[in-house]
Amino acid sequence: MLYLGVIGYPIKHSVSPAMHNAALQHEGIEGIYLAFEVKPDRLRDAVFGAKALGFRGLNVTIPFKESVVEFVELEGEAAKIKTVNTIDLVEMVGYNTDVYGVKAALSGTELGGKTALVVGAGGAGKAAALALLDMGSTVIVANRTEEKGREAVEMLRRYGECIFWPLSRVEELKGKVDVVVNATPLGMRGFKAEIPVPPSMLDGVELVFDTVYNPMETPLIREAKRRGCKVVYGIEMLVHQGAKAFEIWTGIEPDVEVMKEAALRALRF
Ligand code: NAP
């Protein structure tokens, strides 16, 4: 029996169990993926407790992606941005499959030589910025809290051309960016129905990617469509980061469409 799960706080609305259980069933693997709400001061107990119980792996979500790094050895992208979303509990190795998720989501657009604005410098922001740098873009990270944004850029600039820009002055970038990425919770269900940049900034932007996936049609996606931008939905990143985590734990490349259908079904409830 394969035991998998996700830890976060809160975790109630996670669609990862639906997505992974559908993949387990589709691949004929006897296993289960469960969501666990873990109080922030019990993170260590949760990780080592799951290992002791024989869990094969865990996904890690808000607010633990950065704090969990002290319990695992960091691999590849996780080491580059000190952010983990997937743990192999047998080897105690932490991975970041969000970066892969972003690359897969954006794979339909040539990003070499483009200038991308990433709003947000948390786990999703750093993953999106690293993916875009790897794809050859120049990246501008705009963040509400300047110190956190600058810290992220300090880490990211080793991997390409990356600069910090204060979110309060983002309007000055109007006409200067080809890609806009929202990596803040703005637009998420239960959060402010706002968009992270002044709407007129989207004029002339080639591609808008919203990492927020609930709802699918976020205020940013709606505005971007209205202004003729190509859009990429957060669900694409979600499904591909999940598929890569599944592959790390099982050695099997799952059917992404099966995972996407399950995620969409779960999001409708
Ligand atoms: P996080 O580490 O908590 O970072 C949140 C970021 O959003 C920070 O940069 C924060 O700025 C900024 N922010 C929060 N509230 C804001 C506001 N009212 N105005 C402007 N900026 C604000 O969270 P995360 O893990 O990066 O996740 C961020 C979002 O990404 C989530 O809400 C989720 O929807 C999405 N996400 C999607 C996927 C996917 O697979 N599609 C995966 C992960 C996350 P400060 O530094 O100033 O606090």
Distance between Cα 142 and ligand 1 center (Å) = 12
What was the pLDDT predicted at 102? 98
Please give the positions annotated as active site: 65
Q: Residue 97's CB: how many other CB atoms inside 10 A?
A: 26
What was the pLDDT predicted at 63? 96
* Cα angle 125-86-58, degrees, rounded to a multiple of 5: 135
Q: Which atom of ligand 1 is nearest to the CA of 149?
A: 46
Distance between Cα 121 and ligand 1 center (Å) = 7
Identify whether the C-beta of residue 267 lies closer than 8 Å to the C-beta of residue 15.
yes
Identify whether the C-beta of residue 87 lies closer than 8 Å to the C-beta of residue 47.
yes
pLDDT in tens, 76-117: 999 999 999 999 999 999 999 999 999 999 999 999 999 999
The β-bridge partners of 232 are 209
Distance between Cα 88 and ligand 1 center (Å) = 25
pLDDT in tens, 24-34: 999 999 999 99
- Asked if the model's pLDDT at residue 170 lies above 80, the reply is yes
**Residue whose C-alpha is closest to residue 178's, from 221, 122, 140, 134:** 140
Q: Which long-range contacts (CB under 8 A, 24 or more apart) does 189-194 make?
A: 189/13, 189/214, 189/215, 193/219, 194/219
pLDDT in tens, 144-153: 999 999 999 9
Q: Which domains does the chain possess?
A: 2-96+238-268 (3.40.50.10860), 100-232 (3.40.50.720)
Cα(178)–Cα(202) distance, integer angstroms: 9
Q: Is 3 helix (H, G, I), strand (E, B) or coil?
A: strand
CA 24 and chain centroid, separation = 22
Confidence of residue 190 (pLDDT cuts 50, 70, 90): confident
Ligand 1: list residues with CB < 6 Å.
62, 65, 98, 101, 120-125, 143-145, 148, 183-186, 188, 211-213, 234, 237-238, 241
